[in-house]
A and B are shown apart, each in its own frame.
Chain A
Amino acid sequence: MSSAHVEVTSLTIAVRTPGGERAIVDDVSFAIPRGEVLALIGESGSGKTTIALSLLGHTRFGARIAGGTIRVGDTRVDQLDRAGLATLRGRRVTYVAQSAAAAFNPSRPIMSQVIEPLLVHGLATRAEAEARAVDLFRALALPAPEEIGRRYPHQVSGGQLQRLMAAMALITGPELVILDEPTTALDVTTQVDVLRAFKNALAQAGATAIYVSHDLAVVAQMADRIAVLNGGKLIEEGPAAELLARPKSEYARTLFAAARPKGDTASPAPGNVVLAANTLVAGYGKMRDGVPAIPVVNDVSFTLHRGEALGVIGESGSGKSTLARVIAGLLPAASGEVALAGEVLPPALADRSREQLRRVQLVFQNADTALNPAQRVGEILARPLRLFHGLNGAEAEARVAELLDLTQLPRELAGRRSTELSGGQKQRVNLARALAAEPEVLICDEVTSALDTVVGAAILKLIDELRQRLGFATVFISHDISTVRAFCDQVLVLYGGTAVEQADRARFAAGPHHPYTCLLLESVPALERGWLERQPPREAALRDGAEGLCRFLPRCPVAIIGTCDRVAAPLRSREGHAWLCHHEPATLAAQHAEAVG
């Protein structure tokens, strides 16, 4: 083991609490050979980031390294003083944070920030540093490597910024790079490119790396070794291939199961149409000729039957959440209509009757901001009961208890404030409040995206069970195509506010798909090693689009030159399936087969 490049032995990190010290990392040991990538994987609170930061000799405020050793090369990081740490950090050990957008200074150009570590440590002149940065930009497959450094952080995309941050970390030629959930905030389609760039750049630099993530599939692509953590303890550690194929611990198996959700495939008997959207157009800004200045949802239609689940997927900015707000009335539609059980709903909230409001309930993405911190859980749940059902006093109390049971929460929670709950509990309360109205349509807007995989999977299962038991229909909005595929009877794929594909469960499973759906499907990392290497780079056939043409054109790998850039894409449809593309089903299927290869 002494040959390992990085070695951590019986590391214990403790925090001060009123009742004495409490270990948040408890007796963790691992070793990484030179040039290999170790993944730390676990839920939030498992101590993975705490361990990763300790390799920089850093602990968060109030915490301290209480025992054990940390060795990088021949340096004992845990014994370094302030001056020693200053020469270590940013030079021999570097850090890539989760949110590059928050890590860059918005008021300085990117180049000056990327080369800063070199200048601070006095390792190069400005000109040399800039030349090295440009080489790194090229290695990280950034567009226009010569010019991109002159831009400001807000002028590049999220995926590019994340890669620029990796350039900042790699520029001093570090021995050890710590990557802390670097792709968690990115869309799947962007994630593939970023992962590929990271992997190549790390291999070129020959650096040892620690990759912190909660996403097993991503870890499978990046890591040589995997360490599974839970509650500050090391559950299992070993070579990635072995651990993925044969996890030894029960906990690792739970984690693996949660990574790929499986829904109840039994479709409910189709009931009456409960929600129908007809050519919805909505957006922000001033209206011009019945179209908002910034259209976000463009000509979207669907019908949803009683007890059914409709999945809406797309990348960030595709208009998914806006669609939810339009249905709920929070953002009045510019044109088109939403009908609830045949009755057309007024577009604006203020014109809807209380009964109409009751029947459509929206569950917000972020339970932290969706629950009023000044109210107790009991009050939060009792309000819709009083407003919609006229329940008061003991009756309301009994119903609150029922709702807590329904969402599998302990009844004592009624007396607590939402700030005292865990993330999963908050989301359940959020759900319970919507259920209190006894809705016919439940709109779930990315309800699991802020949660850990295991907790999120439990919430999804709960929603699915409640839907089948209580018979409401759900509009399930997600960026995660595997979730939607597992839980939904119908799938609606949004791109740039336009529905590019719409299919029922069977058709969606069978394919073929719109080129954009293909891209989404193929971008979800598989839970196997080597998947990333098999992904072909997807070059767009044509770089520019125009108003009125297919919106996906600037990114479409299979655009037909001479057709797609001249004529708007036609709507093609067959039983249970509709898509917006020039390609016939047969050619799409052929292309899909070729891409998967």
Chain B
Amino acid sequence: MSAATSRARTFMRGLPVSGKIGLVLVLFWFVAAMAGPFVAPYSVSAFVDYDVFSPSSREFWLGSDYLGRDVLSRLLWGARYTIFLGLGAALIACTTGTALALTAAIRGGWVDEALARTMDTMISIPSKILALVLVAAFGSSLTLLLIIASITYIPGNFRISRALAMNVVGLDFVSVARARGESARWIALREILPNMIHPWLADLGLRFVFIVLLLSGLSFLGLGVQPPHADLGSLVRENVSGLAFGAAAIIAPAIAIATLTVGANLLIDALKPVDDKA
């Protein structure tokens, strides 16, 4: 335990100011997403205010939305959808992409060729259009959104992971492992993966940001999370008429998306030099 805390302390010390800001923003939103529903003052779909787009007050910290619901409560719930959908999809995309990339790097030859060409094909399909078509065909659901976001970002992660793995696979310690008769699984997980983990984590973070933006975009178009539930993108959309009044109902979710993605980006950028030092 003390080793872990001391490591965390060295990590914090090595982090530049921008990274610390990023870390605080990311942690804030994660805590908000986790604890949100328990601390939310009102139910997510309850009409609690007689006025719409009311300004912030002691009762409603962020005012009310276009139907007189509490914006703070809806924001806390919305963050939950955005963050967990985003994180889930990023993890699925990166795990799948990297598994395929490691297979390609280790097997080489036609396996590599086939995988790389398939990914090239997938990358040539515009992601937003694909999302629109799939939502139109199957109707929007959380599972479908998760699948769309994952599939969209698998090829990008595959390309980066394959390049990273190719750099490592040519090194002598991988040849030593092969000459020792290690399984492909061992070589992938023990010899290659640990040596590409830092740029890989940075990629995971970037994909998370892209996915948050994609999902928010879809929701803003009305194709994402469906009412009465709402993610941050849908919150912006449903309250778009409040823009004229400068209502907190539209500004708050927009700021939420901005701080979450900017925070994640700052944190990712700050991670790199720290790893180089280690």
Assess whether A349 is in contact with B179, with CB atoms less than 8 Å apart.
yes
- Measured CB to CB, the closest approach of chain B to A518, in angstroms, equals 34
- Residues on A with C-beta less than 8 A from B229 are none
Alpha-carbon separation in the docked complex, A329 to B191 (Å) = 20
- Residues on A with C-beta less than 8 A from B171 are 369-370
With contacts A330-B175, A364-B172, A366-B172 known, is A372 near B195, CB below 8 A? Answer: yes
Assess whether A330 is in contact with B179, with CB atoms less than 8 Å apart.
yes
- Residues on A with C-beta less than 8 A from B181 are 349, 352, 354, 357, 387
- Measured CB to CB, the closest approach of chain A to B140, in angstroms, equals 42
Residue of B nearest to A352 (CB): B181
Assess whether A373 is in contact with B195, with CB atoms less than 8 Å apart.
yes
Alpha-carbon separation in the docked complex, A362 to B173 (Å) = 11
| Range class of the B interface residue count | 10 to 19
B176 contacts partner chain A, Cβ-Cβ < 8 Å: yes
A328 contacts partner chain B, Cβ-Cβ < 8 Å: yes
Q: Which residues, 258 to 296 on A, are CB-close (under 8 Å) to B?
A: none
Assess whether A370 is in contact with B176, with CB atoms less than 8 Å apart.
yes
A245 contacts partner chain B, Cβ-Cβ < 8 Å: no
Count chain A CB atoms within 10 A of each CB in B178, B179, B194 and give the residue with the most: B179
Residue of A nearest to B191 (CB): A372
Q: Which residues, 22 to 81 on B, are CB-close (under 8 Å) to A?
A: none
B117 contacts partner chain A, Cβ-Cβ < 8 Å: no
- Measured CB to CB, the closest approach of chain A to B62, in angstroms, equals 46
Q: Which residues, 128 to 185 on B, are CB-close (under 8 Å) to A?
A: 171-173, 175-176, 178-182
Assess whether A357 is in contact with B195, with CB atoms less than 8 Å apart.
no
Interface residue from B172, B178, B179, B190 paired with A369 (Cβ < 8 Å): B172
- Residues on A with C-beta less than 8 A from B175 are 330, 364
- Residues on A with C-beta less than 8 A from B197 are 374
- Residues on B with C-beta less than 8 A from A170 are none
Alpha-carbon separation in the docked complex, A374 to B193 (Å) = 9
Assess whether A362 is in contact with B176, with CB atoms less than 8 Å apart.
yes
With contacts A373-B195, A374-B194, A374-B195 known, is A357 near B180, CB below 8 A? Answer: yes
Alpha-carbon separation in the docked complex, A387 to B191 (Å) = 15
A383 contacts partner chain B, Cβ-Cβ < 8 Å: yes
- Residues on B with C-beta less than 8 A from A357 are 179-181
Residue of A nearest to B178 (CB): A349
- Residues on B with C-beta less than 8 A from A349 are 178-179, 181
Assess whether A372 is in contact with B179, with CB atoms less than 8 Å apart.
no
Interface residue from A369, A374, A387 paired with B180 (Cβ < 8 Å): A387
Alpha-carbon separation in the docked complex, A522 to B28 (Å) = 73
- Measured CB to CB, the closest approach of chain A to B180, in angstroms, equals 6
A182 contacts partner chain B, Cβ-Cβ < 8 Å: no
Assess whether B173 is in contact with A372, with CB atoms less than 8 Å apart.
yes
A578 contacts partner chain B, Cβ-Cβ < 8 Å: no
1/0 per residue A368-391: CB within 8 Å of B? Answer: 011111110000000110011000
Alpha-carbon separation in the docked complex, A155 to B148 (Å) = 50
A91 contacts partner chain B, Cβ-Cβ < 8 Å: no
A433 contacts partner chain B, Cβ-Cβ < 8 Å: yes
- Residues on B with C-beta less than 8 A from A361 are 179
- Residues on B with C-beta less than 8 A from A365 are 172
Alpha-carbon separation in the docked complex, A357 to B183 (Å) = 13
- Measured CB to CB, the closest approach of chain B to A276, in angstroms, equals 20
Residue total for A at the interface (Cβ-Cβ under 8 A): 25
- Measured CB to CB, the closest approach of chain A to B154, in angstroms, equals 25
- Measured CB to CB, the closest approach of chain B to A58, in angstroms, equals 24
- Measured CB to CB, the closest approach of chain A to B269, in angstroms, equals 22
Residue of A nearest to B174 (CB): A372
1/0 per residue A336-362: CB within 8 Å of B? Answer: 000000000000010010100100011
Alpha-carbon separation in the docked complex, A357 to B173 (Å) = 16
Assess whether B172 is in contact with A370, with CB atoms less than 8 Å apart.
yes
Interface residue from B172, B176, B179, B195 paired with A329 (Cβ < 8 Å): B179
- Residues on B with C-beta less than 8 A from A330 are 175, 178-179
- Measured CB to CB, the closest approach of chain A to B181, in angstroms, equals 5
- Residues on A with C-beta less than 8 A from B191 are 372
Alpha-carbon separation in the docked complex, A388 to B195 (Å) = 25
Alpha-carbon separation in the docked complex, A370 to B190 (Å) = 14
Alpha-carbon separation in the docked complex, A361 to B191 (Å) = 19
Count chain A CB atoms within 10 A of each CB in B175, B181, B197 and give the residue with the most: B181
- Residues on B with C-beta less than 8 A from A364 are 172, 175-176
1/0 per residue A525-555: CB within 8 Å of B? Answer: 0000000000000000000000000000000
- Residues on B with C-beta less than 8 A from A433 are 176
Alpha-carbon separation in the docked complex, A437 to B176 (Å) = 12
Residue of B nearest to A373 (CB): B195
- Measured CB to CB, the closest approach of chain B to A389, in angstroms, equals 12
Assess whether B173 is in contact with A370, with CB atoms less than 8 Å apart.
yes
- Residues on B with C-beta less than 8 A from A352 are 181
Alpha-carbon separation in the docked complex, A374 to B200 (Å) = 15
- Residues on A with C-beta less than 8 A from B176 are 362, 364, 370, 433
Assess whether A362 is in contact with B195, with CB atoms less than 8 Å apart.
no
1/0 per residue B226-249: CB within 8 Å of A? Answer: 000000000000000000000000
Residue of B nearest to A360 (CB): B179
- Residues on A with C-beta less than 8 A from B180 are 357, 383-384, 387-388, 437
- Residues on A with C-beta less than 8 A from B190 are 372, 375
Alpha-carbon separation in the docked complex, A384 to B186 (Å) = 13
- Measured CB to CB, the closest approach of chain A to B13, in angstroms, equals 12
- Measured CB to CB, the closest approach of chain B to A131, in angstroms, equals 45
Alpha-carbon separation in the docked complex, A366 to B172 (Å) = 8
- Residues on B with C-beta less than 8 A from A328 are 179
- Measured CB to CB, the closest approach of chain B to A18, in angstroms, equals 12
- Residues on A with C-beta less than 8 A from B194 are 372, 374-375
- Residues on B with C-beta less than 8 A from A370 are 171-173, 176
- Measured CB to CB, the closest approach of chain B to A488, in angstroms, equals 23
Count chain B CB atoms within 10 A of each CB in A354, A362, A364, A372 and give the residue with the most: A372
Alpha-carbon separation in the docked complex, A371 to B195 (Å) = 12
- Measured CB to CB, the closest approach of chain B to A181, in angstroms, equals 24
- Measured CB to CB, the closest approach of chain B to A351, in angstroms, equals 11
Alpha-carbon separation in the docked complex, A365 to B190 (Å) = 22
- Measured CB to CB, the closest approach of chain A to B51, in angstroms, equals 59
- Measured CB to CB, the closest approach of chain B to A362, in angstroms, equals 6
- Residues on A with C-beta less than 8 A from B182 are 387
Alpha-carbon separation in the docked complex, A81 to B194 (Å) = 46
- Measured CB to CB, the closest approach of chain B to A305, in angstroms, equals 23
- Residues on B with C-beta less than 8 A from A374 are 194-195, 197
Alpha-carbon separation in the docked complex, A354 to B178 (Å) = 11
- Measured CB to CB, the closest approach of chain B to A536, in angstroms, equals 40
Alpha-carbon separation in the docked complex, A529 to B135 (Å) = 83
Alpha-carbon separation in the docked complex, A387 to B190 (Å) = 14
Alpha-carbon separation in the docked complex, A374 to B181 (Å) = 20
Alpha-carbon separation in the docked complex, A388 to B191 (Å) = 18
- Residues on A with C-beta less than 8 A from B178 are 330, 349
Q: List 10 A-B contacts (CB under 8 A).
A: A357-B179, A357-B180, A362-B179, A371-B173, A372-B173, A372-B190, A372-B195, A374-B197, A387-B181, A388-B180
B residues sitting closer than 8 Å to A (CB atoms) are 171-173, 175-176, 178-182, 190-191, 194-195, 197
Additional pairs, 10, CB under 8 Å, beyond known A370-B172, A374-B195, A388-B180: A349-B178, A349-B181, A362-B176, A364-B176, A372-B190, A372-B194, A372-B195, A373-B195, A375-B194, A387-B180
A residues sitting closer than 8 Å to B (CB atoms) are 328-330, 349, 352, 354, 357, 361-362, 364-366, 369-375, 383-384, 387-388, 433, 437
